[in-house]
Amino acid sequence: MLNESDVLEVLDLLKSAGAVAWVDGGWGVDALIGRTTRIHSDLDLVVLSDQLDVVRDALIEAGFTKVLRDWLPTALAVADSAGREIDLHPVVGSAREGGQQLLPGGERFRYPAPVTGTIGGRRVPCVDAATQVQCHLGYEATDKDRQDMARLHAGTGVDLPPEYTPTP
């Protein structure tokens, strides 16, 4: 589990290493809403592919030495001895323009440039609301996914697709 200070510590660590990262997933939803809404088992980060070695080295130095999933070039999940997990989503591009995540089968997913959210009272770069919704499509949604999307809609007004629209 990661708390707000863990997230900010990781973002600071990567920034001091010279790496760009923006928050995705559950923490990204919370950043857009501006408050922590639930317990998070991991931290999803969009990182630049050409900085992946810098990111990995910084995380290893901070104790994130256990590789949980190596699905590169699509994703890499690591953990530390306390069980805190970080799921990296490398993109080819830049923070100013966004980038393309290479998916299995040669497809690509576009992450736009980051927007600003808030975690622990501090402004952080994060994935925009519409892209958060796109990231939650193409698989069977869990209750946690449905709750995150409902909170995202309530907090930002982003449109939700039918599979996330509550039935009356």
The per-residue pLDDT for range 114-142, each reduced to its tens digit, is 999 999 999 999 999 999 999 999 888 89
- Domain with 133 in it: what CATH number? 3.30.460.40
Residue 167 forms part of a structural domain: no
Whether 8 is covered by a domain: the verdict is yes
Whole-number pLDDT of residue 168: 60
The pLDDT of residue 163: 85
Q: Residue 105: pLDDT band by 50, 70, 90 thresholds?
A: confident
Burial grade of 112 (CB within 10 A; 0-12, 13-18, 19 or more) = middle
Which DSSP state fits 104?
A: G
Phi, psi dihedrals of residue 149, rounded to the nearest 5°: -65, -40
Report angle CA 41, 135, 38 to the nearest 5 degrees: 30
**What is residue 138's predicted lDDT score, i.e. its pLDDT?**
85
**Amino acid (1-letter code) at residue 150:** A
pLDDT recorded at residue 93? 96
Q: What is the span of the domain harbouring residue 79?
A: 4-159
Q: Is residue 168 part of a domain?
A: no
Question: pLDDT of 83-102, one tens digit each?
Answer: 999 999 999 999 999 999 99
* pLDDT at 103 (0 to 100): 93
Q: How many domains are there within the chain?
A: 1
Q: What is the dihedral of CA 49, 76, 34, 159, to 10 degrees?
A: 80
Question: Would you say residue 143 has pLDDT above 70?
Answer: yes
Per-residue confidence (pLDDT) for residue 139, from 0 to 100: 87
Confidence bin at 5 (pLDDT 50/70/90): very high
**Is position 29 within any domain?**
yes
Burial of 168 (0-12, 13-18, 19+ CB in 10 A): exposed
| 15-57 pLDDT per residue, tens | 999 999 999 999 999 999 999 999 999 999 999 999 999 999 9
| In the predicted structure, residue 167 carries a pLDDT above the cut 70 | no
